[in-house]
Structure 1
Amino acid sequence: MRHQRMKLWVAAEQTLHKWGESLKECGIDLLVAQKEEPAEEVDGLLLTRLGDYSRLQELGGNSLRQEKSPVLLLVFGDEAPYGWADELAAACEASQKPYEVVRMSLWSGKERVLLGGGPVGQQMRRLCRLLADHGKLSMVCGRREVDEAIRQLPRYLAWKERFYWEMGEACDDNGVSLKQVSRALGLDTRVGQGWLDPVHQDHSLVCAWLVRECQHVLQKTKIERIALIGPADLWNKMPQGWLADKAVAVYTGTDEPFPNEARPGWVRCDSWKAAVQEADLLVIGDGLEVVAELSLQELAHTMRQSLVVDAASCFPAQEAQLFCKGYRAVGEKTNVWE
């Protein structure tokens, strides 16, 4: 059975590159608006930021017409200003333009979708059917309610992350495992098992912990070469000089540029193996996908000294201690270097 699809105009190539694949999975195909394109080929406009609407109107969006349903204005993503979708809807109603404004956000790993707008709107019903047809679970609410959920989610995740970092310190002080305690808390369905989001909301917490733990190991052990695995924006936020006089190799897991002028002497590697080769210390700053695939036995064999400081708690502590000379994760024994 062939799935139905929807076509929307976007104002810039940048939007197409950023969201094209994700929305294609939802049954929505994006086309960059051009003046010479016939407006009848699309179902509406995708708006992600201020300026998109006026730009698309200039390119022919004003002439869009649908025979049996209103033109869709899909306000999408977390860059759209708070309340903008409601303002567009009010303006369209006041000018009697045949538009239906829907607020949309991908949720929970892109498997779920928030939709804001009139629950009985023709385009709203069509979007719900389209998403269901492509295996996406959607929730319909008000446009401003989607805005509020987008605004509150990072605040909640940041609060949750701070809670678990603070609990990790308490676990350290009392000689118990944060991972085990968090699993125990997660048995309560009000808490759940997602104890620490792999994408950190607050880099300051990670940075402070990494500086402290690396100072411990540098004071106790002779270290010459250090490997860093984690995103570039995390390492850029680390204080200057925290690894002074050490040979540092970095693997970020992406092709994003790394500012060598900010970290002179650091070597950018294109694989985790190249980064950890003959390293004395491995510092894991974030849970990159590649880290979960690492073999601890191979990792220990590749390094000169298998010392690991892991801010993402990527490995079971008992297994890591079996293969590594020293392993330190959040909430897993502060005296590991003593």
Structure 2
Amino acid sequence: MIGGGYVGLVSAACFAEFGMHVSVVETNAERLAALREGRIPIYEPGLDTLVVSNSQAGRLVFGDDIASAVVGAEAVFIAVGTPPRNGDGAADLQYVHAAARQIAQALTGYAVIVTKSTVPVGSSRRIAEIIREARPDLDFDVASNPEFLREGSAIDDFMRPDRVIIGLDEAGKNGTARAENVMRRVYRPLAQSAAELVFTGLETAELTKYASNSFLAMKISFINEMADLCEKLGANVEGLARGMGLDTRIGQRFLNPGPGYGGSCFPKDTLALSRIAQESQSGCRLVETTVQVNEARKAAMAGRIIAACGGAVNGRTVAVLGLTFKPETDDMRESASIPILHRLAEAGAVLRAYDPVGMEAAKPLLPAQTIYCADAMDAAQGADVLVVLTEWNIFRALSPESLAQQMRAKVVVDLRNIFDPDAMRAAGFVYQSVGRP
């Protein structure tokens, strides 16, 4: 497994749990040292136990040398980062290409080189070209195996997936059957648990990842727009979402309104798919509009908070519950809290924030004057308005009466709809949620 980041580490630990011997190559010295000591550099429920137990069993090892890691390997996964390229949002493949060159030099026998990183269409064929250029004598195949791991539930997603997508070179006739055999053996434990293995061409597998994430992002932007419409018409977005979601053609997931999607996947993948479509001279206007709607959504949320305070927050204390882009992760990438808190700080607000696991990751990204608190009640101390940005379960249990005692003014802007409107009003709050009367 080349890369010990989020995707690489979760995948490696789960493969090891299946009984395979997995070598993880990580070139970041600090991260490698942590992994060797059993310290997990990311927050993902259950991952620490999985890594430690399989390391102790000798099935999971960490190092920084590709040559020693790939000795005897039948499958070599590339799971390095593909961040958006500055300027145009296209995926930056420099780390993928560098890994391919190193793998080519290190392999001593046949292996399937598998792209686990999210890469643009055509990347797997480019990897094959790079390897052939470096080692014309090498016997290998390439495969595309995109990941569909949700942060906060990644282990369960890996162990009990909806499907496993495996792209192979449909045009090639010599090595495809051999590569398919390797990939079927890699995923045999999942096949035995009734998970569907979907074999496709390389381009189809690569595009499936972008299409899937972009469609889910589109559902989120759609329900956010419906929430705004509900507020204008006096309807309730929760009833609307339930009525929609019970239609099996639509489904109930990703129909929860909020301040806009974030994280490591949706923002990056929607931009990348838009770029792919533009370069292919093919229209992708729904995805392009989804990106625009989401950016506008985040910008509008700060204005909603300011309006709830009577049009000004200068000198007022804003309590913020939740900073990460979603619960059960410490990931701050593209979190709605970043633009919202910067806008509030620019407007003169005093920010008191609490997140169960994300505060250290948040500090370099949020306004310097942000005060980080010990818990939710500490954040609410003396606040003029309380804002819910991330729906951590511990916030759902907060007593409205206790919050009212802590706060200076009784104003709550609940951007995740975690509180009961009747209970909040009964406690004397001026309460605003998203898409609910």
Q: Which residue of 2 aligns with 1:279?
A: 383
Comparing 47-56 with 241-250, greater Cα deviation is found at: 241-250
Q: TM-score, normalised by structure 1?
A: 0.77
1:104 to 124, 132, 145: 145
User: Any stretches of 5+ residues in structure 2 without a counterpart?
Assistant: 1-16, 36-40, 80-95, 170-175, 263-293, 325-331
Whether 1:238 and 2:279 are equivalent positions in the alignment is: no
Mark the CA change 1:32 to 1:176 in structure 2 (over 3 Å): closer, same or farther. same
Q: SS state of the match for residue 105, structure 1?
A: coil
Q: Which residue of 2 aligns with 1:56?
A: 103
1:193 to 242, 252, 255: 252
Give the structure with the larger strand fraction.
1
1:139 to 198, 216, 223: 198
Whether 1:216 and 2:308 are equivalent positions in the alignment is: yes
User: Any stretches of 5+ residues in structure 1 without a counterpart?
Assistant: 334-338
Distance in 2 between residues matched to 1:164 and 1:125, nearest whole Å: 38
Q: Which residue of 1 aligns with 2:296?
A: 204
Structure with the greater alpha carbon radius of gyration:
1
Q: SS state of the match for residue 87, structure 1?
A: helix
Mark the CA change 1:115 to 1:132 in structure 2 (over 3 Å): closer, same or farther. same
Asked if the contact 1:320/1:327 (under 8 Å) is kept, the reply is: yes
Mark the CA change 1:62 to 1:220 in structure 2 (over 3 Å): closer, same or farther. closer
Q: Deviations over 1:72-122 (max 9, x none)?
A: 3121122x3432223334676894633232212222634223222268422
Cα drift, residue 208 of structure 1: 0.3
Q: Which residue of 2 aligns with 1:251?
A: 354
Cα drift, residue 280 of structure 1: 2.6
Asked if the contact 1:8/1:43 (under 8 Å) is kept, the reply is: no
Asked if the contact 1:75/1:103 (under 8 Å) is kept, the reply is: yes
Aligned length: 321
Asked if the contact 1:117/1:124 (under 8 Å) is kept, the reply is: no
Residue identity (%): 18
Distance in 2 between residues matched to 1:72 and 1:158, nearest whole Å: 32
Q: TM-score, normalised by structure 2?
A: 0.61
1:44 to 62, 75, 78: 75
Matches within 5 A, 1:259-270: 259=364, 263-270=367-374
Which residue type is aligned with residue 351 of structure 2? V
Distance in 1 between residues matched to 2:225 and 2:396, nearest whole Å: 24
Matches within 5 A, 1:19-98: 21=47, 29=60, 31-34=62-65, 37=68, 39-40=70-71, 42-48=73-79, 49-58=96-105, 61-63=106-108, 65=109, 70-78=110-118, 80-89=119-128, 95=136, 97-98=138-139
Distance in 1 between residues matched to 2:414 and 2:193, nearest whole Å: 38
Q: SS state of the match for residue 436, structure 2?
A: coil
Whether 1:174 and 2:233 are equivalent positions in the alignment is: yes
Cα drift, residue 182 of structure 1: 1.2
Root-mean-square deviation (CA, aligned residues, Å) is 3.8
Q: Which residue of 1 aligns with 2:286?
A: none
